[in-house]
Structure 1
Amino acid sequence: MTETKIVANRVLLAAVYLASFMALLDASVVTVALPTVQRDFGGPLANLQWVFDGYTLALATAMLSGGVLGDRFGRRRVFLAGLALFTVASLACALAPGIGWLVAARIVQGAAASVLIPGGLSLLAQAFSEPARRARALGLGAVIGGLAFVAGPLLGGPLTETFGWQSIFLINLPLGAVALVLGVRGITESADPSRPGLDPVGQVLAIAWTGLLVYAVIEAGHAGWSAPRVVGCLAAAAVCLAAFLVAESRGRSPMLPLTFFRDGDFAVVNLASFVLGAASYGGFFLLSLYLQGPRGASATEAGLWFLPLVLATSAMGAVSGRVSRRIGLLAGYPLCAAGLRARSCWTPPPRSRSSRCCSW
Structure 2
Amino acid sequence: MTEGNFVDYIKIFIKSGKGGKGSTHLRREKAVAKGGPDGGDGGRGGHVIVRGNKNYWTLFHLKFKQHVRATHGGDGGKQTSTGHDGEDAIIEVPLGTIIRDTETNEIIKEITEDQQEYIAAKGGQGGKGNAHFKTSTNQTPRYAQPGIESEEKQITLELKVLADVGLVGFPNAGKSTLLSVITAAKPKIADYEFTTLKPNLGIVKYRDYKSFVVADIPGIIEGAAEGKGLGYRFLRHIERNSTLLFLIPADADNVVKSYEILLDELKRYNPELLDKSRLIAISKSDMLDEELKAELNEELKLGFKNTPYLFISSVAQEGLQELKDKLWESVNADKARLN
Which structure shows the higher strand fraction?
2
Name the one with the larger helix percent: 1
Q: Which structure ranks higher in relative contact order (CA pairs < 8 Å, sequence separation ≥ 6)?
A: 1
Q: TM-score, normalised by structure 2?
A: 0.25
TM-score, structure 1 normalization: 0.24
